[in-house]
Structure 1
Amino acid sequence: MPAELFHYEATNAQGVGMEGHIEADSESAAYRALQAQGLLPLTIAPARQPRGGRLRSRRLTGAMRKQAVEEMATLLASGVPLSEALPSLRKGHANTPLGTVFDELHAGLRGGDSFSESLERSRLSLPPDVLQMIRAGEAAGDLGGAMRTALDRMEYVASSQRELRNALIYPAILVIAGLAAIVLIFAIVVPRFQRLLSKGGDSVPWISRVVLHIGMFLHDHWLLVLAGVAGVAGVCWALLQQPQVRRTAEDTLLRLPGIGSWLLQAEMGRWTHSLGALLSSKVPLARALALSAEAVTIASLRRRLTTVQANIRAGERLTDALERQHLIDPMGANLLRVGEQSGRLAEVLASLTRVYNTSATQRMKRFLLLLEPAAILFIGASIGLLMVAIMLAVTSLNNAVLQ
């Protein structure tokens, strides 16, 4: 049963009245959910639908998340307190997914949670590095600046993903069209030549026999093949949901030439950005290292960064600890060493982030430049091989008849 949107009026533990929206399967489920938030529900009723008969989409998209952070950052930078900003945003996004999010944030603040705690528990589901920046800015008393820094990071990630997605469209179309052509040749064209196997006998080349047998099998058992492909895809997807399998796949990618260095630079760029933002917010180095490690998505790199933290607590310098774990290249080590010696580590980390981001972007572009011709060569070679196999079978049969 799909969740419904309910409007509620309630009081918190301090007896302060409040209202908002909540998604639940039923009114009783909404009542229990509000009680779990420490609220005493007074009235709960289905939310009114806007004209047109339906509520707008309730699914939060990446653009919606960025919009929420941008609007909160703008209001905070203008000097509007959170206690006024969130109700205003809630009204502006009534009957939308963001309206529900701002309801949750406002309810959390009124319930005694900090803004970062409310943000972490909300449906906004911000990335870990963004949450760490906001938490650090809140602790330093510069929440507006931290929100703006977090927004810059989200915009960079969104821009990189959009660029990658757009660049992959043409190669993806090539591969899909080529695979469809290969399947059609195997399933429709090749079986029409199956008589060549019985007539040609041993005179049919082995490559032609293999292609013809595969084509006849696909033609006769296409449902079984389709179910097998779907089953393999399902098993692979289920395996990738297992943490141990995912960690093994990540470690394998890190060891691959080219791809491994690309992933390492992308992850270290995320880490240096988070660490630099935390240090700029006057967070102590030990605490900043612990928080910034959560921004790294690859488990093995997080473990190595945890080792770096332990070595620093033991008295080792940051640059030496990172070099010992092979997390930075000589250029990055030189920059960090200068930052440590000059006391400008946060500024150097910001520069290193730009270097890593630029390098990762260039590697991605080089990979995409090679992907398109590789896809064309693969599809062309596959179709050419099929055609050659069929023509060899035809010519071998003609030679057998002439003899």
Structure 2
Amino acid sequence: MMYRYRGITEAAEPVTGVIEAQADTDALQKLQDRRIDVTELKAIKPKSVSLSRKKPGSTDYYNLLEQLAVLVNSGIPVLEAIESLRKTSRNFTLTEQLDRIGKELRQGVRLSQAMMDSMPNLPPMVPALVALGEQTGNLDDVLSSIGKQLGKQEKMKSELRNAFTYPIFLSVVGVGAVLFLFLFVVPRFSAMIGDDLSALPFIAQAVFHISAFLTERWPVALMILFLVVFGIAAIWSSKQARSSVIGMIHYVPVIGPILRQSELANWTRTVGLAFSARANLITAVTLAENTVTSDTNRAAFGDVARDLRAGMALDDALEKVPGIEPVVVNLVSTGVRAGRLGEMLMVATRILDERVEAGSNRLSRLAEPIAILIISALVGMVVIGLVMAMTSLYEFSL
């Protein structure tokens, strides 16, 4: 059972936290062993909840790491903290993963290795940074920093997704409206026009031909749609193909700069975290390569690590990266000279995050009218085609 406590340390400083114990007396004894004079102790009643079988996502993992950091910082041993999180987890898969981590910890395996073995979907940098925290005795601070930075990274991803959500919704509704016109409205006019469309204007002919194809050969249309969706899913499921597609999107106007800045922010964030966790610079830069999704950019940042091994300064190595933001190079140069590289990297990350957020907002404002314009053009084409067809029919009757 978990207990929330308040107390006073030997240094007469107030302290609060949570502790796991079998009973009230056990909790009091554990706190006395820590030289804490307890002033308040309350049992935290567990809530009866059903476990979700949804695959854990980035949000689940960064919430887990933040909670683990709080527990470890409160003085709770890592194994007890993992057991506590397992009992309160609402995700079935995450509960199983925490259970496996607990078993490995009892066998003497390090937390970083247990995470690597039991949480395959965890970003690769997390176990590596946890290992650095274990080596330096700074595990609670490292866990807290990882949780916060993963939260910021997830926020950036969410803002990028939100930038496209409403335009995609408009596009789906618009496509549905256009299909409705082709399937139910245009065929009514086809009966009036007849089979001979040669005398109609080109736009009118195109509208009636598309309508005839969708109504008479709908199995073929469905097969084409299925192949397109299946092809996109197959490409996205392949890591190499997905990386190539993302690399091409990086060169698309408006969208490309936002994605490049987002990747650069992830890179500076990871290097800053690793460097602050007392990793050497080459190790920090090597860890950060895993956060870059584009093959081209990953190769460029891989060259940075090789240049560092050759004795080149970090700011000089970054200048060779294509499309690198000058503000990052300037801040890194300042950090190297002032001996505050970790701090300057986090400043660069904050600036890049702000630029990504501003770019996402601009993209959202730009994408909405573009989606409306495209759908309006499609609907307008159908309407104009019908009007031109009816006008031609009226001329023929005269």
Once residues 229 and 182 of structure 1 are traced to their aligned partners in structure 2, the CA distance between those partners, rounded to angstroms, is 16
Task: Using the TM superposition, give the Cα deviation of residue 273 of structure 1 relative to its aligned residue in structure 2, in angstroms.
Answer: 0.7
Is 2:255 aligned against 1:259?
Answer: yes
Is 2:116 aligned against 1:116?
Answer: no
Task: Using the TM superposition, give the Cα deviation of residue 165 of structure 1 relative to its aligned residue in structure 2, in angstroms.
Answer: 4.1
Q: Quick one: which of 302, 306, 312 aligns to 1:306?
A: 302
Once residues 289 and 107 of structure 1 are traced to their aligned partners in structure 2, the CA distance between those partners, rounded to angstroms, is 32
Q: Secondary structure at the match of 1:56?
A: coil
Once residues 320 and 190 of structure 2 are traced to their aligned partners in structure 1, the CA distance between those partners, rounded to angstroms, is 63
Asked if structure 2 preserves the Cα contact closer than 8 Å seen for 1:116 and 1:135, the reply is: yes
Q: Which runs of 5+ in 1 are unaligned?
A: 1-51
Q: Using the aligned pairs only, state the percent identity.
A: 32
Quick one: which amino acid aligns to residue 61 of structure 1? Answer: P
Task: Using the TM superposition, give the Cα deviation of residue 232 of structure 1 relative to its aligned residue in structure 2, in angstroms.
Answer: 1.6
Q: Quick one: which of 385, 389, 395 aligns to 1:393?
A: 389
TM-aligned CA distance change 1:297 to 1:112, over 3 Å: farther
Q: What residue number does 1:158 align with? A: 154
Q: What residue number does 1:297 align with? A: 293
TM-aligned CA distance change 1:327 to 1:203, over 3 Å: closer
Q: Secondary structure at the match of 2:122?
A: coil
Q: Secondary structure at the match of 1:283?
A: coil
Quick one: which amino acid aligns to residue 180 of structure 2? Answer: L
Once residues 59 and 377 of structure 1 are traced to their aligned partners in structure 2, the CA distance between those partners, rounded to angstroms, is 38
- Aligned length in residues: 351
1:160-191 deviation digits (Å, cap 9, x = unpaired): 34444445443233211111010011111112
TM-score by length of 2: 0.82
Once residues 143 and 50 of structure 2 are traced to their aligned partners in structure 1, the CA distance between those partners, rounded to angstroms, is 29
Quick one: which amino acid aligns to residue 356 of structure 2? Answer: A
TM-score by length of 1: 0.81
Quick one: which amino acid aligns to residue 169 of structure 2? Answer: I
Asked if structure 1 preserves the Cα contact closer than 8 Å seen for 2:170 and 2:372, the reply is: yes
Q: CA RMSD in A?
A: 2.4
Q: What residue number does 2:140 align with? A: 144
Task: Using the TM superposition, give the Cα deviation of residue 196 of structure 1 relative to its aligned residue in structure 2, in angstroms.
Answer: 5.2
Once residues 253 and 162 of structure 2 are traced to their aligned partners in structure 1, the CA distance between those partners, rounded to angstroms, is 25
- Deviation larger for 384-393 or 83-92: 83-92
Q: What residue number does 2:53 align with? A: 58
Task: Using the TM superposition, give the Cα deviation of residue 375 of structure 1 relative to its aligned residue in structure 2, in angstroms.
Answer: 1.1
Once residues 95 and 391 of structure 1 are traced to their aligned partners in structure 2, the CA distance between those partners, rounded to angstroms, is 57
Is 2:371 aligned against 1:372?
Answer: no
Task: Using the TM superposition, give the Cα deviation of residue 366 of structure 1 relative to its aligned residue in structure 2, in angstroms.
Answer: 0.5
Q: Quick one: which of 116, 123, 127 aligns to 1:127?
A: 123
Quick one: which amino acid aligns to residue 327 of structure 2? Answer: M
What pairs with 1:202-241 in structure 2 (closer than 5 Å)?
202-241=198-237
- Deviation larger for 224-233 or 325-334: 325-334
TM-aligned CA distance change 1:166 to 1:103, over 3 Å: same
- Deviation larger for 190-199 or 246-255: 190-199
Task: Using the TM superposition, give the Cα deviation of residue 124 of structure 1 relative to its aligned residue in structure 2, in angstroms.
Answer: 6.7
Task: Using the TM superposition, give the Cα deviation of residue 70 of structure 1 relative to its aligned residue in structure 2, in angstroms.
Answer: 2.4
Is 2:45 aligned against 1:70?
Answer: no
Asked if structure 1 preserves the Cα contact closer than 8 Å seen for 2:82 and 2:102, the reply is: yes
Once residues 327 and 382 of structure 2 are traced to their aligned partners in structure 1, the CA distance between those partners, rounded to angstroms, is 50
Is 2:155 aligned against 1:171?
Answer: no
Once residues 53 and 185 of structure 2 are traced to their aligned partners in structure 1, the CA distance between those partners, rounded to angstroms, is 47
Q: What residue number does 2:327 align with? A: 331
Asked if structure 2 preserves the Cα contact closer than 8 Å seen for 1:268 and 1:356, the reply is: yes
- Deviation larger for 215-224 or 115-124: 115-124
Once residues 144 and 188 of structure 2 are traced to their aligned partners in structure 1, the CA distance between those partners, rounded to angstroms, is 65
Task: Using the TM superposition, give the Cα deviation of residue 261 of structure 1 relative to its aligned residue in structure 2, in angstroms.
Answer: 2.0
Q: Which runs of 5+ in 2 are unaligned?
A: 1-47
TM-aligned CA distance change 1:195 to 1:89, over 3 Å: closer
Once residues 57 and 86 of structure 1 are traced to their aligned partners in structure 2, the CA distance between those partners, rounded to angstroms, is 19
Once residues 66 and 169 of structure 1 are traced to their aligned partners in structure 2, the CA distance between those partners, rounded to angstroms, is 24
TM-aligned CA distance change 1:273 to 1:107, over 3 Å: same
What pairs with 1:349-360 in structure 2 (closer than 5 Å)?
349-360=345-356
Q: Quick one: which of 336, 339, 346 aligns to 1:340?
A: 336
What pairs with 1:100-115 in structure 2 (closer than 5 Å)?
100-115=96-111
TM-aligned CA distance change 1:366 to 1:235, over 3 Å: same
